[in-house]
Chains A and B, each alone.
Chain A
Amino acid sequence: MNDLNFLEINNNTIEALEKKLSVEEKNILSKCKKTMSKNIHYLKNLGIENIDELFEKYYYMFAIDESKFISIFDKYEKEDLIDKLNKNSSIIEFL
């Protein structure tokens, strides 16, 4: 496919996601690749370890514009946020 192969994400995750996504979804995501790469990089730098899991489940959040994406995480205490996200990826939607 590999519309999403440009991302620093595990190949298995990309394959699993690509099976799930429709053509339209893949099409839009491929146009947001620079933003997605930057957001993945931001979370990795922050110290988030389960990026693959987060990306597979909440790929659409990674396409949020960089400044808005950062503002979602920026309001929390860094250590606490990393700890909670690493333990449970699903809290990302409630941030």
Chain B
Amino acid sequence: MIYTKTQETFKKLFDLKNGNNSKIVKDFQKEIDKIKESLDLLKKKNNDLIKENEETQETLKLISNQYDCLKELIKGKKTSDFDELNKQLAINFDPTSIRHEIDEKFPVKKSELNNKINTCTNDIKNNDEEITSLNSKIDELNLKLSTIIDKQKEISELLEKSINQDLLNFPPRPIIDTLLFLNFSEEEAKIIASNMVFSNPDFVNFYLAEERKRKEEIDRIKQEAKEVIARKSLTEVANDKENEPEEKIVTEVLEEKKDNEDISINNLESMVINVFKDDNESEEGTSDTSIINKLKEKHLDVNKIDNVDDYVKNSKTVFENLEYLQNTFNNGIDIANENLKLLLVDKLAEKIKYLMKELKVSKEEVINYDKLLVEKNAITEIEKLKENGVNVSAISIGCLFATDNFISNLKTLKEHNYNISEEELLKYSILLSSLNNNKLKKYLEDYKVIAKYPQGNIYLNVFEVDEDIVHSNYLSIMQVYPEFIKKYPQFQLKNCEDIATIINTCKINNIPFQDENGSYYSFVFDQEQFKNIYPSVELVKVKKEI
């Protein structure tokens, strides 16, 4: 039916009365939800900062106390005061050097921690201000939203009165103002106001005709829905599950309508209409051109589509997924253009949500792995990992491309008594999913001592160093001082040859290289430092027995 311009304005008003102008409400709600999301993130970030700040303050307090305590203990003491103890225990306790060292290092550390506390405190303050501002913004939007809803209700009541000719002598200005608030133009508002206050017969008749049409349409839809339900029973008998989701919606719609007659009939109506529209499309077939046009309407770059038949065949899924992407992602259209294939994947929304929830990652991070979403059943892969006791929130998405290998490698590590921590799991998850299991086994066999003294950790970097160098250097240090590996299983093995040389030299020259707690003096790791402290001592390399 073709409407005149005035009738179009009337229709706009009736649609509003029937709850069809919800776009303005939806936009507000969307904006509020978006701000709430940012607010939650900010609150979380701020709580983390507060926690971090407390920890830093605690550390500063603790080291200040310990520094004061140690300083007091060694105050006025000389090395000679400990001659006998040093001699008897074969140690090298030197209060003067310790005093110098802590006096030099403590102020630097203190200032570093103070700076961190200051920065953190400022960040917390700024975040608090932003949280307050976001909360005010939400309050403001909620207020506006509730005013819009009130105004809609108000105009609907006025419309009812106008139809019943109860609005005579009502001033038009408040009606115009209310309509302007609800996004009507000045011209539209004036037309409606003058028609309403005088209960213009054209206006009233148009309204009554539209209402009648609407009721007839609803009756027709109800009838069609009943037919679909009847068809569903037949389909069930035929054991065909293909139409199940659509019919479920129809049933739900009707039940919902039955339960709540007050809710906007038009919304229900449009839902049912959509179901039928989809149904009809699939029955009658949809032309390539119409699909392409629909994609173009969604601003999709159709040139990127390799096989339009796939889209025609799966048009329902494509558009469902496209709508999901557009509603979920701010830049949904771009994502869809980049990953058009994604749109053909069933249950895309569920897949993405599941990955986000389990792996504790953002939507954007999941979307980076379009191949995973298209080619792999990511949900099955995650379930497999969970069954094998893997904390999936600590791994990277990329691991899902090789879960079997990842699980095999974790099992191998366990067999060698490596208990991989969550931190290590995150850092090495990609390495463990791509590293050949036989290669891992070989390394673990070759470097048994590390396995023997894991200290609850594993030093996987050994896999990344040239095998020959590792082997040779590792053996150097094993020959000269195997205990070193106990203390530093994580130390970079490619430096072992230098360390072995220093320890070897110390042993030959009777130079202590560990303190009373078994900690190594720093010169053990630094040849330059060693040469400065013992300039006359010549370094003696370990004679390799390989």
Chain A residues packing against B (C-beta within 8 Å): 20, 22, 24-25, 27-29, 31-32, 34-35, 38, 57-58, 60-61, 63-68, 72, 75, 77, 80, 90, 93-94
Contact = CB atoms under 8 A, between A and B. Distances in A.
A60 B430 contact: yes
A65 B359 contact: yes
A28 B401 contact: yes
A22 B463 CA distance: 12
Contacts of A22: 434, 436, 439
A22 B426 CA distance: 21
B372 A31 contact: yes
Contacts of B112: 77, 80
Pairs of residues from A and B, 4 with the lowest C-beta to C-beta distance, nearest first: A60-B431, A34-B368, A25-B434, A32-B398
A66 B116 CA distance: 24
26 contacts: A24-B402, A24-B434, A25-B434, A28-B402, A28-B430, A29-B398, A29-B434, A31-B369, A31-B398, A32-B396, A34-B368, A34-B369, A35-B397, A38-B368, A58-B461, A60-B434, A61-B430, A63-B398, A63-B430, A65-B361, A65-B397, A66-B362, A66-B368, A67-B362, A68-B361, A68-B396
* Residues of A contacting B: mostly: helix
B365 A28 contact: no
A77 B365 CA distance: 25
Contacts of A94: 490
B361 A25 contact: no
Contact of A65 (B396, B427, B464, B490): B396
Interface of B: 52, 112, 115-116, 119, 359-362, 364-365, 368-369, 371-372, 396-398, 401-402, 405, 426-431, 433-436, 439, 461, 464, 490, 492
A64 to B, nearest CB: 5
B361 to A, nearest CB: 5
B28 to A, nearest CB: 30
A77 B434 contact: no
Contacts of B431: 60
Nearest to B369: A31
Given A22-B439, A28-B402, A63-B398, 15 more contacts: A22-B436, A28-B401, A28-B430, A29-B398, A64-B396, A64-B426, A64-B429, A65-B359, A65-B361, A66-B365, A75-B52, A77-B112, A77-B115, A80-B112, A90-B461
